Amino acid sequence: MSQRPLRDSNIELLRILSACGVIMLHYNSTANGGFASVANGGVNQFILVLLETVSICAVNVFVLITGYFMSKYNKRDGLKPISLLMQVVVFAAATLLVQKLILHQNPTIDDAFEYLFSGNWFVYVFIALYFISPFINLAWDALNSSGRKLLIGISFVLFSIYPTAIDILKYWSGRQLAGSSTIGIEGGQAGYTIVNFVLVYLIGAGIRSMDEKKVPDVGTLFLSYILSVGVTISWSYADGLRAGMNVYDTIAWNYNNPLVISQAALLFMMFRKIDIKNSKVINAVSGSTFTIYILHQRLIGLLNIRGVASGDAVLLVHHIIGSVIGIFFVCFICHLLYLIIKRPVYRFVADKWYRNRYFTT
């Protein structure tokens, strides 16, 4: 296997935009976000639905980028997952301290569990993918071009198209249909599974293996992406009308939805074709995306999103832009401060743990 390739600034820019997308998804939260107070059928709701649809593929984009780069090398560092978990623990502890000492709140053990676990489900599934990915790579390398296409095709049908069809049937019929999905007894679980991560990882590996001449031009990719977004928006409204509920109660925004996965792939292929010279600024900022993922939810709760979402549409748009940029900036500063703590600790551990730290296949 070849050594890990250098990541291009165009892909790092996509990583940054995807982090903004994750912020947007939680801005729309049905708990204390925009979807909790926006009026049904109004302009504000359409704005939030549009931005939700554009942002929903953000998590898949992160995983696809991982598959694109990590499918070419098999060496894994046992310290990396520990480093990721360390960041989760540090920011969870920092959040609890701020709530207690500065905001004079009384965080509970449930809050701690949310900051450490449920709010960071992506971290644990990603670590699982990190450990099993070398074995996925071995199977991938053993296949010829036809075998790789067949693997992705079968996986896409079994773990995206079929479970989504079952979820649609459940949603529209009102029946449970337990055990009918290929992912689990509870169905596709909206794509919050290692199954979806492996599928998207394989798609990333497949894009890397594609002949560049066979990849459509940027214009075609963009039109395909816009069409997919339009269909997804229509789907969300159709689900809302059928259920007699708000449009955000929909299967259209499941991570394992074929449209959502395709949007991640289309965006990635578009950005791969964009020629951006190596940018130290972009590369440096993109290094903070993991911090943004685990910390932004703590900051969103400080915003008056519900009040703005029920008001003027122009103000809502300005509030969204300002909130995303502001949260990104604060998380980036926190990332820089965290590096001051991390680097000496990381070096110390790395110097002490040099045996059995790496594994390869």
Over 60: is that where the pLDDT of 99 sits? yes
Q: Is residue 2 part of a domain?
A: no
Burial of 201 (0-12, 13-18, 19+ CB in 10 A): buried
Q: Is residue 4 part of a domain?
A: no
- Alpha helices by DSSP H, the chain: 9-27, 43-55, 58-70, 79-97, 109-116, 121-142, 145-156, 162-173, 194-209, 218-243, 258-273, 280-286, 289-300, 305-309, 313-352
pTM, rounded to two decimals: 0.94
User: What's the sign of the alpha-carbon dihedral 9, 10, 15, 19?
Assistant: positive
What average pLDDT does this structure show over 248-253?
A: 90
Over 50: is that where the pLDDT of 3 sits? no
Q: Is residue 39 part of a domain?
A: yes
CA distances from 26 to 37, 51, 168, 283, 317 (A): 14, 11, 24, 25, 15
Residue 71 in tokens = 């499918």
What average pLDDT does this structure show over 278-291?
A: 94
Q: Is residue 170 part of a domain?
A: yes
Over 50: is that where the pLDDT of 4 sits? no
Rounded CA-CA distance 288/271 in Å is 19
Q: What is the pLDDT of residue 243?
A: 64
Percent of the chain with pLDDT over 90: 84
Q: Is residue 1 part of a domain?
A: no
Across the chain, mean pLDDT equals 93
What average pLDDT does this structure show over 313-328?
A: 98
CA distances from 45 to 35, 51, 103, 237, 260 (A): 8, 10, 32, 11, 20
Query: Lowest-confidence range among 124-133, 272-281, 330-339?
Result: 272-281
What average pLDDT does this structure show over 139-163?
A: 97
Over 70: is that where the pLDDT of 281 sits? yes
Over 60: is that where the pLDDT of 25 sits? yes
Rounded CA-CA distance 264/254 in Å is 13
Q: Is residue 242 part of a domain?
A: yes
Q: Is residue 3 part of a domain?
A: no
Q: What is the pLDDT of residue 1?
A: 43
From the list 56, 115, 98, 38, the residue with the least C-alpha distance to 302 is 98
Summarize pLDDT for 172-183 with one digit per residue, the tens.
Answer: 888 888 889 999
Q: Is residue 217 part of a domain?
A: yes
User: How many Å separate Cα 146 from the centre of its chain?
Assistant: 29
From the list 257, 255, 273, 269, the residue with the least C-alpha distance to 224 is 269
Count of structural domains within the chain = 1
Q: How confident is the model at residue 7 (pLDDT cuts 50, 70, 90)?
A: low
Over 90: is that where the pLDDT of 11 sits? yes
Domain limits at 329?
9-359
